Structure formats: structure tokens, C-alpha cells
Chains A and B, each alone.
Chain A
Amino acid sequence: MDALLFMIFAAIAVVCAINLVVQRHPISSALSLVGVMGALAALYLLLGGEFIAAAQLVVYAGAIMVLFVFVIMLLNAGTEARGRRGWAHYAGVPLLLLLFGLIACLITRRMPASEDVVFGQFTKGGPLDIGRALFTTYLLPFEVTSVLILVAILGAIVLARKEID
């Protein structure tokens, strides 16, 4: 059952990610990214990360991506022009495969006899444990992040406001 669920959601994630890269219209890419995020949320649940799965849905899919879709609709962005491709593009493909191969090699080398993921083995991903860790061990980073958010809000307002003449 675990394996089947992993297969399904991993397949959804990979297909949506490929779609994100190959689609020429930004709104198709945005929706593919939402698909990736939904699939990842399901995978987090399999890994026992209940809170992080919900946060993935609320923050990423429900807020950030809506913002993206909003901006795409607001700018009425058309499809990307199919322009000339330099040699760099074609050189990039093998390099990219090389990068992926390196990571894959590293994973198989470093985690040779890795254990199986069994649903329900890890139960510390609930809101209780996350909250406890967030407000004790990680209190300072948490507060710093809130300041970062504040700065980002101010920056966004300053950048996007209309010029008042």
C-alpha cells in the first residue's frame, strides 16, 4: 500500500514537474507546480509529516501559487516566444544529466542499505511537536523569520505601489 501510494504520487510529481518545464504558457506551468506541491504534500503525509503537509497546502498551494496565478492573470502574460537556441542550450542537457547522475550516485553510495519507509513509524510530525520545537529550540530563527517577512512586505509595497506625482 505504501509503495503503491508512493508510486502514484511520485509519478504525479515527476509528470507535473516535466510539464512545468516544457509548457510554454506560464499559467500551465503554474498549475503544474500546484500539482507537484499537492503530490509532495501527500508524500509528506506518508513520511509522517502531518503538519508540514498541511502547511504545504496552506502556504505553498493556497497562498504563494495563488499569488503567481494572480500576477500572471494581471499581466496577461502570453505564451513564450520560441526563439533561437544557442549552443549553450544543447550543452546544458548533458551537463544537467551529469548533475543528476552525480546526485543519484551520491545517494546510492552514502545510503547503501537504507531502511524502508513505513507509514506510521514516525509520529513526531504533528502540530504539537512542531510547535514545541519551533517555540523552544528554534525561537530565535523563528523571530528572525518574522522580521524577514515584515521587511519583505514593506519591500513589496514599496516596489509595487503606484508613483504618486
Chain B
Amino acid sequence: MTFFIVSIIKSAVVAFVLLTALAYLQWAERKVLAHIQLRVGPRRVGPHGLLQPLADVIKLITKEDMMPSHVDKFFWFLAPFIAVLFALIPIAVIPFGTELNLPAIDFGPVHIPAIQTAMQLTDINIGVLFILGISGLGVYGVALAGWSSNNKYSLLGGLRSSAQMISYELPMALAIVAPLLVLNTLSFRGIVDGQSGFMLGFLPKWTIFQVFPFNLLSFILFMIAAFAETNRVPFDLPEAENELVAGFHTEYGSMKFAAFFMAEYCNMVTVSCVATLLFLGGWHPPFPAEYGSNYVPSLVLIGAGILSFLHGANPARPFDRITLPVFGVVFFGLAGLIAIPAVALPLMPVIWFSAKACFILFVYIWVRGTLPRFRYDQLMSFAWTFMFPIAIVNLFLTGLWVALS
């Protein structure tokens, strides 16, 4: 019984955090893109546009839900659900940290037993295969949306998407297999446990530093393939807005459009988590705790607080005189909170994990602000004539290394 209750609470927490993160990921993307292009980005709603996601959600919910008259109604309705469903499921097997130990609480008549639970919804011993399988199903949402819209551009978007997904799944799977040869397990928890410890006392035993340089190469291959799998720039041909008028979701509005948007961002989050777990050592810090890795989050937050105060003293816009010092105080408070050992020890794995995942998400946005889009024939020949051979050779060499050592 406790198991069910704990599972339900964990699911609720994960769902809440994930959905909030998705909303703010969009805010972060607009903000970072704007700064890359020397603009300021959204800043009307709330300080620095921090309430923009809320405003967007309200706008999308209250919009009229139009259904074009020429669509295939059933599949047109089904497609966004499929997209969101298969984007959300993979989160279930991703571990976010080590273990959570809550002491027993006796509060009057209420008695809560001590709880020890993994920071993960479920740990299955085919976790990697599960993620590969489920994320491969996400293409049905896009393909169906494109087909059922009964619109040339949407159909092209759906076609492009299905061909692209099949093509890039191969190099992606081959790139994932290479580190698995070294780690010898398919469960995410086992994968992260296999990367603990340090080589030569300081270099973390993350997969990308092992079997150098082959695993670094597979990391790069994985990231490129992941960009294509999530339909992001420079591989966003299914939804290329200036050639296909937004491609597969042209005919969608209001919450159905938001569903596709959410699915795309959720896929990005999943891919970042998987990359972190497989290649970047999961929740293991980049240098040993003896050298003070537990204090890094506090130091970073203190630095952010000082920066906020400095900018607040010399504000670029009048409103910042009030908001930036408030942010500074919040940063200082968080820094103090994390510096307390009782709080820090259980939270530290989660902090490192999310820091790494956020870095990869930042790379996503960075690439979007930097690279132009591929042409479709370039995209296909890149997958089949460049990435595929490299991935195979890389896998072969990694296997040789593992067999010889």
C-alpha cells in the first residue's frame, strides 16, 4: 500500500516539475535566443518576463478551438494526444538522483512510516531499450498530424518527419551501444553507478572520458542524431516555417498546437537526461568531494546574487532597480540553504544532474541561434553517408578496445 501511495506522490511531483520546466524552457529559449541576436526578449509580463509562460498558457487555453472542415476528424484529433503521450512516457524510467531517505514522522494521530525510495519512477533493466522504443513511436503523432490535416505542406512535413526519424534512429542507436559496451548494463541506475569514481584522482570516470576518444565521438554522434530526432534546428525540416508554413501543425490551433509544442520540448528534456545519464556521468560531480564539489552550487548562486546587486545598482531600465536586488536576495537565500549539509547531501545529486541536463538544453538553444537549416537531400545524405559509417566504425573500434582490455 505504501508503495502505491509513494508511487502516486512521486508521479505527481515528477509531472508537476516536468510541466513547469517545459513552460520555463520555452521562456529560457526565447530569452537566450534574444540575447544571441542582441535583443532583450520577453520582459512585459512579470520581471524579466518570468510570468510569460503563464500568459502563454492562458492565451492558448482560451483561444477558440477551430477544426478545419477538410480534415480527417478522428486522426486529426488523435495526433496531438499520441505526440504528447509518447513524449511523456520515457520520463518514467529516468533516474534523477540516488535515493531519498525520509525519517518516520509522528505528528499527533498522523503516523508516517520511514520511507526509502529511489529518485526515479521505476527502474527497469531494459531502460535504454525502452526509451529507444517509446521515442520511436512519437513519430506517429507527427506523421498522423501531417496526413490527417489534408494539406500539401502538412503532408510533406509528416513525410519528412517519418523518413528523418527512421534514418536518424540508426546512428543514434549505434552511438548509444558504444558506451553500453563499456558499462555492461541496460538499466539507467546501473549505467550511472558504473560511472562513479575518478581516474588519476581527479578525472571523473564519465563515459565520455573512458575509451578516449571513441566515446567522445559517440557522444557527438548521439547529440547530432538527437537533434534530428527531436526535430530541432538544424534538422527542423518537418516544421520548417518558411518553406512548409510550420509543416505538420499548420492546421492546429489553441491547446492542440500547444500539445505539439509540449511534446517537442518534452522530447528535448528526455534526450538531455539520457545524454547526461549515458555520457556525462549522471549525478556524479565533475571533481571529487574532497576538493569541495559540494560547495560549487552555493558559490555559483552567490556569484549570481552579487551580479544581480551590481546590475541593480546601475540599472539599464528603471524597473530593474527594484527587481534585481530582490533576485539577489533570493539567490543568496538559496546559496545559504544549499550550504547546510543536511539539505545539501540529499539534494546534491539532483543539482548536478539538472545542471548537466540544463547545459545540454542550453546547447540546443545555442545551436538554434547559430546554425542555418539543412536542405532535405543534405539531411538524408548526412545521415546515411556520413553518420552511419562513422557510427559503425566507432562501434567496431570501441568493441575492439573492450575485447582487448
Contact = CB atoms under 8 A, between A and B. Distances in A.
Interface of B: 75, 124-126, 129-130, 132-134, 136-137, 139-140, 143-144, 146-147, 155, 158-159, 162-163, 165-166, 169, 173, 186
Nearest to A70: B162
Q: Which 5 A-B pairs have the closest CB atoms?
A: A62-B136, A57-B133, A54-B129, A58-B133, A70-B162
A76 B162 CA distance: 15
Interface in A31-90: 31, 34, 38, 41, 50-51, 53-58, 61-63, 66-67, 69-70, 73-74, 76
A126 interface: yes
B136 A61 contact: yes
B320 to A, nearest CB: 49
A61 B143 contact: no
19 contacts: A27-B75, A31-B75, A38-B137, A50-B124, A53-B126, A54-B126, A54-B132, A56-B133, A57-B133, A58-B132, A58-B136, A62-B133, A63-B169, A70-B143, A70-B166, A73-B143, A73-B146, A126-B126, A127-B129
A50 B163 CA distance: 28
A45 B134 CA distance: 15
Given A50-B125, A58-B133, A73-B146, 17 more contacts: A27-B75, A27-B147, A41-B133, A50-B124, A54-B129, A55-B129, A56-B133, A57-B136, A58-B132, A62-B169, A63-B136, A66-B140, A67-B166, A69-B162, A70-B163, A76-B155, A126-B125
Contacts of B124: 50
Nearest to B173: A58
A43 to B, nearest CB: 15
Contacts of A61: 133, 136-137
Contacts of B129: 51, 54-55, 58, 127
B143 A54 contact: no
Nearest to A64: B166
B181 to A, nearest CB: 11
Contact of B159 (A34, A58, A62, A73): A73
B127 to A, nearest CB: 10
